[in-house]
Every structure is written in C-alpha cells, then in structure tokens.
Amino acid sequence: MLFLMTLTYTSSFMDRTVLSIIQNPIKEELGLSDTQLGILGGFAFALFYSTLGIPVARLAERMDRRWLITISLAIWSVATAASGLAKGFASLFAFRVAVGVGEAGASPPAHSLITDFFAPERRGTAFSIYSLGVSAGVLTGSIAGGYVAQAYGWRMTFAIFGIPGILLAILIPLTIKEPRRGRLDPPRPPDEALPTLKEVLHRFARKRALSHSVAGASIAAFGSYSIISFSAPFFIRAHGASLPEAGLFLGLTSGLSAGVGIFLSGFLTDRMSRRDARWAVWIPAIGFGLAVPLYIAGFLVPSKAAAMTILLIPPALQYLYLGPTMGLMHNLVTPRMRATTTAILYLAVNLFGMGLGPPITGYVSDMLAASMGGGARCHGAMASLDQLCRVAAATGVRWALVIGTLAFLWAAIHYLIAARTLRSDLRPDEVAL
C-alpha cells in the first residue's frame, strides 16, 4: 500500500515538475512572461487542487478511498498528456486547472489510508517514505523531462508524462484492500460519529501546535514552489545550461537532496520525540534556519559549478519539515478527521505556497528584468537572441529566487511557536507521538 501511494505521489510531482523544466521552450514558442509562467506553475494548478480538497476529503471519510485515488489519477494523467495540445496561455491554463482538479482527490484519502496501516509511533517514518514521492517525482520529472524535451520537444514531453499515472490507476484497485478506519489507534467509541467540518476547524483552533505547524508548512511551500518553478530557468539564463543540464540539476537538488532530508526527517523525529515531543517542530525550524544562507549563496555565486555544488545542500535541510509535520498532524486528530485535516493542510499549503509563490516570484522577476531594460520587447520568441534581454532575464530571476527563500525564516518562527504548546496539545486523550 505504502509503495503504491508513494508512486502515486511521485506521479503527481512528475506532472507538476515537468512544466518547470520546459518553461523556457514554452516561453519562447508561446511568447509568455515569467508572470504567466508562474501562474501556470502555481495558481492555475492550485486553484481547484486546494479548494476541491476539502469536499473530496469529506467523501474520503465515508467511501472507499482506493477508488477516489484511482479516479483522480486518471483525470490528472489524461490532462497532463493533453497539455501538449495547448495553443496559447489560455488553453494551457485550462489544462493545468484540470491537472489540479484531478490531483485534489489523491492525498487526503492516501493520508487516511496510511494511518490505518501504521501504528502512531511509526507514522513519522511512514509519512517520510510517502513524502519521498515529492523528491522522486521532482527527480524523475526533472531529469527525464530535460532529456525528453531536448529530443522530442515540450509538446511530446507532456504526452509521455501522462502515461505512468494511467497505469497506476489500473493497478491500485486490483492490489489494495480497504482497511477498517482507526484500527491501529487506541480504543475509542466503536461507532464514532463522523465529525462535522466545524468540529475539525474547532480542533485546529484548540490545538495551537497543529495550526502553527500548518501555517509553517504553508509559508515554507511559498519558497519551495518558487525554487522548483524557477531553478531551471535560472540555470538556463544565468549560467547558460542546456535543458538536460538544468533538469539534472533540479533533479539532484529538489529531487535527490530533498529526498535525503525527507527520509531523515521522519527517522530523526520518531527517535528524538521519544525524549521530547517538541523535536517534531524543532527539527523543521532548525532545517529552515540553516537552509536560507546556503540558498542565498548558491543563487548569487557567479560560477555555475560553485552554484550547483552549494545548492545541493539546502534542499536536504529545507525538507526536514515534511515527515514530522504530517505525522504530528495526524497524531493530533481523531481517525475520522484525518482526510479532512489533510485537505485543510493542502488548502493552506497550495493556495498560499503554490498559488502565490511562483506567480509572485515570476512577477518580481519580470519587474527586476524590466528595470534593467528588459521590458515588453523582451517577451516573445526573439527575446532569447537579444543580449540585453538575456542579461535582464537572468538578473531578474536570480534576485527573485533570493527574495523567495526568505519565506523559510518566517516558516521557522511558526514551528518554534508550535513548540510552546505541543506537549499540552498531546495530552492523554490524544495519540502519543
């Protein structure tokens, strides 16, 4: 079950990441600005991915979770493949919205399934393994996307990347059985009623560690999605990298390095929290604080080799928050609140992080480029041949990324605040961390 759920999460991030790798060819062929690219990589996807999560989660509390995941997989995989048919910004926007609609139905039921297969003291590690789908998807989407796009063009790349999800959609209902909800949790009333959405929100209000962890994760996502969306264009513009080179770099950083951090986060948290439950929020705060100066150095250093070397390190630190946050979140709510709690997390993370991060970073990039003379004449297919436009575009995206990474410091503050009430929030009526 965990392997298939991780593959599903991998597929979703492959479909998101491939857009960032082929942004430059799309920008040149369709004549788009960085702001428009940011909207496609952020708001277009996040709009329905975030808002549909809660109604889908309410369904997941009632019905067979496997089929919700299966239907969702089919929708977003077909929409990804169809993105290669786009004729301009409007049609590509519509296809990315459809991808978001499909992916809205995957994570809430997947989270709920995982908690019914793993005991509370193992959930940090389980969710870290599941979260490896982020790094595996980014790694595969980046490296494979760069080579496929170089060989076949961006349109065929979309078509090829839609195939894995369709195969998974066939496999999941054939191999996973729906478990009884809450079967590994401490004894509760046998006929626990389905909590209302108001009751779930009230729990967020009462458990300050829960609400601050979600706030921290949402703010961190602003920086994360900005970096994923614009790292490849940064290396192409600022360091003259090819598509395969940019894809390899993004795969090694946001894929491989991030994967190390994601796995270690759950492993460290499950061990350290036996001594003090607050390590579940201290570890993310420490990771963010260490990642920021390294990101800034990596984006500002003039050498491509030095930049690639430095930027291999901070993703492992930045992603130390994923496993602890998911494990803690589910340990602070009851079994029939878990899919809805996941949807609330994803609503906050994706509306703020994905919905605003890439568009704002793209807008800042455009404004900084325009201030250097890279204005309206630098949009379109000929812009890549103009030296002034190339320098302006490189400088704009470089400083936009530096500014975006500061979000991690804000996120660290919320995790530190969560530490103040975490032990009282994990009282005897709760599942012990």
Query: 236-249, pLDDT tens digit by residue?
Result: 888 888 888 888 88
More confident residue, 187 or 146: 146
User: What is residue 55's predicted lDDT score, i.e. its pLDDT?
Assistant: 82
Which has the closest alpha carbon to 38: 219, 220, 161, 222?
Answer: 222
- Of the candidates 216, 236, 257, 232, the one whose C-alpha atom is nearest the C-alpha of residue 353 is 216
CA dist 328 and 74 (Å) reads 30
Q: Which residue has the tokens 């490296």?
A: 143
330-342 b/e with 16+ CB inside 10 Å = b? bbbbbbbbbbbbb
- What are the structure tokens assigned to 83, written together? 């993105």
- On the question of pLDDT at 433 being above 70, the answer is no
d(CA 210, CA 206): 9
pLDDT confidence tier of residue 430, bands split at 50, 70 and 90: very low
The answer to whether 230 touches 365, Cβ cutoff 8 Å, is yes
Question: Interior CA angle at 270 toward 213 and 206, to 5°?
Answer: 30
Residue 36: CB atoms within 10 A of its CB come to 22
Cβ atoms of 399 and 368 within 8 Å: the answer is yes
pTM over 0.85: no
Q: What is the pLDDT of residue 184?
A: 64
pLDDT, tens only, 318-375: 989 887 887 788 778 877 787 788 778 878 888 888 888 888 998 999 888 888 765 5
CA–CA distance, 149 with 164 (Å, rounded to integer): 17
Instruction: Identify the three-state secondary structure at position 104.
Output: coil
In the predicted model, is pLDDT for residue 382 greater than 60? Answer: no
Q: What percentage of the chain carries pLDDT values higher than 90?
A: 27
Domain annotation for the chain: domains and CATH numbers: 2-175+196-425 (1.20.1250.20)
Query: Which residue is associated with the tokens 């704002």?
Result: 360
**3-state secondary structure (DSSP) of residue 119:** coil
Name which of 76, 104, 91, 100 is nearest 32 in CA terms. Answer: 91
Question: In what helix (H) or strand (E) does residue 15 lie, and over which residues does it extend?
Answer: helix 2-21
Decide if pLDDT at 191 tops 50: no
Question: What would the mean pLDDT of 88-104 be, rounded to a whole number?
Answer: 89
